[in-house]
């Protein structure tokens, strides 16, 4: 069966109290909308339509970065969830198959749940995703009659008896496209909010003699984010799940609760992550690496046997080959560090390549930025870069070259050459002693005067 996804993401999210549209707030550094899109991707949808409204352009941009084929349907006025789905009609013109409606603010949906909805949908005209709520609060309630779902009643419109129901509406549904749009056409807005409620399609379908049922999932999956507190709670849930998965897959987390992961963090088995490590988006780490305490990594790849940190910062474009060493207070960006190379202390290596087995001395800086443009530094194999070398890019050091400590390198250094660029040292006998005496005398005069 072909499916199309319709993801509702037009709402303002008033309770977020934010200039950023709600669905763009991140969980594990990935916008909520992207979490929803990734969940929906398991159905290999033939079309994906994102219904946008508040912050439409920003939302559309994020959606199309994730999936360049995602279609955008703008809902200018947020007149309710049924009205939102209706906006997808044009984008689904000519589409035949099932429509699965998802919400951009329910990021925890699991693939199995969507697969189950599709499976059950094959035997029913309309399938709603429900969940048993620990605290049903303001969720819509599912009024069941055996296997049949009779209707969904919004909290605001529910009687006391209906409010006692704990099976709640997640908002997600699956239905044949033609059928769904026909049902939506019949939805009115005569209710407590004056909105076109998507859940009303249930009762309309029942009245038309269609079969309607519900599939239930655990509440964690349908968790909707409506406030910053919800967002923080959702992130916490995400983190504990992701950590548990890593532990299960053979990664050592010395203090799991202090390791902050991104949604796409990949770590190979037998890698050790020390306490207080933060992963930004786009990090992959192979097996058997060690990430020491207080390191921050984003957009980088770390190969087998590499040791990073403590207190290292790997920024986007960093590629560490096998058995490399990145030590304390080292920052790398757009840097390819070849096998066995070491950058152990207090360095900035940006827009650079470092050859195999090269050693970068403490305090070395690639001066990659001239205030206007960025320039490349190329360092060969088996190079020894002396401490506190300034590499003024664009510049290169040939294989086997050396730089003297404190050298400012402005010209390319040929293979096996030694570059020295610093002023000559002069020692003045007895001068230190004289200078001390002079200064002490000055201090004594000042203290007397005061
Ligand atoms: C909705 C359901 C409720 C369910 C709950 C689960 C309705 C009427 N109610 O309530 O039964 O228990 O979700 O979380 O559907 N949106 C639009 N355009 C609109 C209105 C909403 O795109 O005009 C989007 C929102 O951005 C959001 C989603 O639809 O992503 C849900 O809307 P929201 O206002 O949060 O619905 P709830 O009141 O939570
Ligand atoms: Ca909601």
User: What is the separation of C-alpha 379 from the centre of its chain, rounded to a whole number of angstroms?
Assistant: 33
Tell me how far CA of residue 259 lies from CA of 120, 249, 293, 306, in angstroms.
39, 16, 9, 19
Atom of ligand 1 nearest to the CA of 104: 30
Give the helix ranges, DSSP H, for 145-264.
160-163, 177-185, 201-207, 219-222, 228-248
In which element (H, E) is residue 13 found?
none
Given ligand 1 and candidates 171, 196, 226, 231, which is best to mutate, with the most ligand atoms within 8 Å of its CB? 171
- For ligand 1, atom 38, name the residue with the nearest CA: 139
Atom of ligand 1 nearest to the CA of 168: 12
Q: Please report which ligand is nearest the Cα atom of 191.
A: 1
pLDDT at 450 (0 to 100) = 64
Q: Please report which ligand is nearest the Cα atom of 13.
A: 1
Which active-site residues does the annotation give? 345
Neighbours of 141 (CB within 10 A): 26
User: What is the separation of C-alpha 147 from the centre of its chain, rounded to a whole number of angstroms?
Assistant: 39
Q: Find the angle CA(237)-CA(72)-CA(124) to the nearest 5 degrees.
A: 70
User: What is the separation of C-alpha 443 from the centre of its chain, rounded to a whole number of angstroms?
Assistant: 58
Atom of ligand 1 nearest to the CA of 79: 23
Tens-level pLDDT at each residue, the chain (450 residues): 799 999 999 988 899 999 999 999 999 999 999 999 999 999 999 999 999 999 999 999 999 999 999 999 999 999 999 999 999 999 999 999 999 999 999 889 999 999 999 999 999 999 999 999 999 988 999 999 999 999 999 999 999 999 999 999 998 999 999 999 999 999 999 998 999 999 999 999 999 999 999 999 999 899 889 999 999 999 999 999 999 999 999 999 999 999 999 999 999 999 999 999 999 999 999 999 999 999 999 999 999 999 999 999 999 999 999 999 999 999 999 999 999 999 999 999 999 999 999 999 999 999 999 999 999 999 999 999 999 999 999 999 999 999 999 999 999 999 999 999 999 999 999 999 999 999 999 999 999 986
Atom of ligand 1 nearest to the CA of 200: 8
Distance 366 CA to ligand 1 centre (A): 52
Distance 226 CA to ligand 2 centre (A): 6
Which residue, among 359, 349, 350, has the nearest Cα to 380 in the 3D structure? 359
Q: Which fold has domain 228-419?
A: UDP N-Acetylglucosamine Acyltransferase; domain 1 (2.160.10)
Query: What is d(CA 419, CA 412) in angstroms, rounded to the nearest whole number?
Result: 9
Query: What is d(CA 145, CA 195) in angstroms, rounded to the nearest whole number?
Result: 26
Which class in CATH covers the domain with range 3-222?
Answer: alpha beta
Residues with CB under 6 A from ligand 1: 8-11, 51, 53, 75, 78-81, 83-84, 103-105, 139-140, 152, 154, 168-171, 197-199, 224
Contact 45, 3 (CB under 8 A): yes
Please give the backbone phi and psi of residue 120, each rounded to the nearest 5 degrees, phi first.
-70, -35
Q: Please report which ligand is nearest the Cα atom of 171.
A: 1
Given ligand 1 and candidates 32, 103, 173, which is best to mutate, with the most ligand atoms within 8 Å of its CB? 103
Neighbours of 405 (CB within 10 A): 15
> What single DSSP character describes residue 70?
-
pLDDT at 171 (0 to 100) = 87
Residue that is written with structure tokens 């059950």 in the block: 120
- For ligand 1, atom 3, name the residue with the nearest CA: 140
- CA torsion angle for 223, 228, 229, 232 (degrees, to 10)? 70
Given ligand 1 and candidates 11, 78, 152, 195, which is best to mutate, with the most ligand atoms within 8 Å of its CB? 11
What's the predicted TM-score (pTM) here?
Answer: 0.87
Please give the backbone phi and psi of residue 175, each rounded to the nearest 5 degrees, phi first.
-160, 150
Q: Please report which ligand is nearest the Cα atom of 222.
A: 1
The domain segmentation of the chain, as residue ranges, is 3-222, 228-419
Query: What is d(CA 340, CA 326) in angstroms, rounded to the nearest whole number?
Result: 10
Distance 120 CA to ligand 2 centre (A): 25
Query: What is d(CA 37, CA 103) in angstroms, rounded to the nearest whole number?
Result: 10
Give the three-class secondary structure for 225.
coil
pLDDT at 183 (0 to 100) = 98
pLDDT at 1 (0 to 100) = 77
Distance 204 CA to ligand 2 centre (A): 23
Give the helix ranges, DSSP H, for 208-347.
219-222, 228-248
Measured distance between the N- and C-terminal CA atoms of the chain, rounded to whole angstroms: 92
The contacts of residue 194 (CB under 8 Å, 6+ apart) are none
């Amino acid at each position: 069966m072909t499916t199309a996804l319709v993801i509702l993401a037009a709402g303002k999210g008033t309770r977020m109290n934010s200039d950023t549209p709600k669905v763009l707030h991140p969980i594990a550094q990935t916008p909520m909308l992207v979490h929803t899109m990734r969940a929906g991707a398991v159905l290999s949808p033939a079309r994906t339509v994102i219904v946008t409204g508040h912050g439409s352009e920003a939302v559309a941009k994020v959606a199309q970065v994730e999936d360049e084929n995602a279609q955008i349907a703008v809902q200018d006025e947020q007149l309710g969830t049924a009205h939102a789905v209706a906006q997808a009609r044009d984008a689904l013109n000519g589409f035949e198959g099932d429509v699965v409606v998802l919400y951009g603010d329910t990021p925890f949906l699991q693939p199995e749940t969507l697969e189950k909805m599709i499976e059950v949908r094959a035997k029913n005209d309309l399938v709603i995703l429900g969940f048993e709520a620990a605290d049903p609060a303001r969720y819509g309630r599912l009024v069941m009659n055996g296997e049949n779902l009779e209707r969904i009643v919004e909290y605001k419109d529910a009687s006391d008896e209906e409010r006692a129901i704990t099976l709640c509406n997640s908002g997600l549904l699956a239905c044949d496209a033609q059928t769904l749009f026909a049902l939506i056409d019949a939805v009115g807005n005569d209710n407590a909010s004056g909105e076109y409620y998507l859940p009303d399609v249930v009762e309309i379908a029942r009245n038309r003699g269609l079969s309607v049922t519900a599939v239930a999932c655990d509440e964690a999956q349908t968790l909707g984010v409506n406030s910053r507190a919800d967002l923080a709670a959702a992130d916490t849930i995400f983190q504990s799940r992701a950590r548990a998965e890593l532990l299960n897959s053979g990664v050592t987390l010395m203090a799991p609760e202090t390791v902050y992961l991104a949604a796409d963090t990949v770590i190979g088995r037998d890698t050790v992550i020390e306490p207080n490590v933060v992963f930004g988006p786009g990090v992959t780490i192979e097996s058997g690496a060690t990430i020491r305490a207080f390191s921050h990594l984003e957009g980088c790849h770390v190969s087998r046997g590499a040791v990073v940190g403590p207190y290292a910062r790997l920024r986007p474009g960093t590629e560490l080959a096998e058995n490399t060493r990145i030590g304390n207070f080292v920052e790398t960006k757009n840097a390819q560090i070849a096998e066995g190379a070491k950058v152990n202390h207090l360095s900035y290596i940006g827009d650079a390549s470092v050859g195999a087995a090269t050693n970068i001395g403490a305090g070395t800086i690639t001066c990659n930025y001239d205030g206007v443009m960025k320039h490349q530094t190329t360092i060969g194999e088996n190079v020894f870069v002396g401490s506190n070398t300034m590499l003024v890019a664009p510049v290169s050091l040939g294989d086997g070259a050396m730089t003297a400590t404190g050298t400012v390198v402005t010209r390319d250094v040929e293979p096996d050459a030694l570059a020295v660029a610093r002023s000559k040292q002069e020692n003045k006998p007895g001068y230190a002693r004289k200078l001390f005496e002079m200064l002490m005398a000055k201090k004594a005069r000042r203290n007397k005067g005061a």
